[in-house]
Structure 1
């Protein structure tokens, strides 16, 4: 897999991923298990994109954001 997530895209995905995981924990404590599962899966998916530097959706659409000016590498 070739990296296709970088720069500002990677930062935004990381922030949203962490936020969704926190929201999932809060929803789970409020006994909203379905909402917690959806938010948790979405958040972990975004964090996996950040960690691996690869997004299947970007690949299918031909989008590559690794050339952004805020690259973490």
Structure 2
């Protein structure tokens, strides 16, 4: 898998995903909070499948040798 999520994007995904899951567990926002699993997983893995078709990368470009 190609890493295309980096830095601030990764941090925001993890924080927002975890927050949504916690809110779902406490019953504050209902079952829709479980959608937080997606940004949490993409943040932890470092790859966002939705970025691939558009060629978006928020991580640093690796130098080619």
Quick check: TM above 0.5? yes
Aligned residues: 61
The structure 1 segments of at least 4 consecutive aligned residues displaced by more than 6 Å after TM superposition are: none
* Equivalent residue, structure 2, for 1:9: 9
TM-score relative to the length of structure 2: 0.80
TM-score relative to the length of structure 1: 0.72
Unaligned 5+ runs, structure 1: 69-73
Determine which structure has greater relative contact order: mean sequence separation of CA pairs < 8 Å that are 6+ residues apart, divided by chain length.
1
In 2, Cα distance between equivalents of 1:66 and 1:36: 33
Q: Which has the higher helix share?
A: 1
RMSD over aligned CA atoms reads 1.8
* Equivalent residue, structure 2, for 1:71: none
* Equivalent residue, structure 2, for 1:26: 26
For residues 19-55 of structure 1, the C-alpha deviation after alignment (integer angstroms, 9 at most, x for no partner) is 100111122xx6xxxx533211x21111110111100
In 2, Cα distance between equivalents of 1:3 and 1:36: 32
Q: Does 1:64 align with 2:57?
A: yes
